[in-house]
Amino acid sequence: MSFKNQTFPARLGFALRGLKFALRTEASLRTQAIVLVAVLIVLVLLRPEPMWWALVALASAAVIATELLNTALEQLADLLHPELHPRIRVLKDCAAAAVLIASLGALGVAAAFAVHLFR
């Protein structure tokens, strides 16, 4: 079955299936999702300006997206080369580093928001 030129509902279904798989199998993604829900609750309670909602949305999307790409790369690497290999380790380490960088960026947004609140 070709995934090219599918209808929007079909492509949306593929994406939701991938998200469901990753949430079911990846503890780090579940943690990030829980943190996102907590952050959204804080935003609802504090009612910041729309700019802060946008920054949180962008930072959160970056973290979740890199977690999903990390999961996809790990799944592909494990399928193609199930045994431990130094170059596969580098690939997985780099993908994990991407998640770390996105998470640090999100923490930077959180720190800026805290400074904004308490000044």
Question: Which residue type does 100 have?
Answer: L
Report helix, strand and coil shares of the chain as percent, to nearest 5: 85, 0, 15
Q: What's the rounded Cα separation, in Å, for the pair 26 and 29?
A: 5
Determine how many CB atoms are found less than 10 A away from the CB of residue 116.
12
Catalytic residue among 26, 67, 74, 83: 67
Is residue 67 part of the annotated active site? The answer reads yes
Containing 90, the helix (H) or strand (E) segment is helix 86-117
Query: Catalytic positions, please?
Result: 67
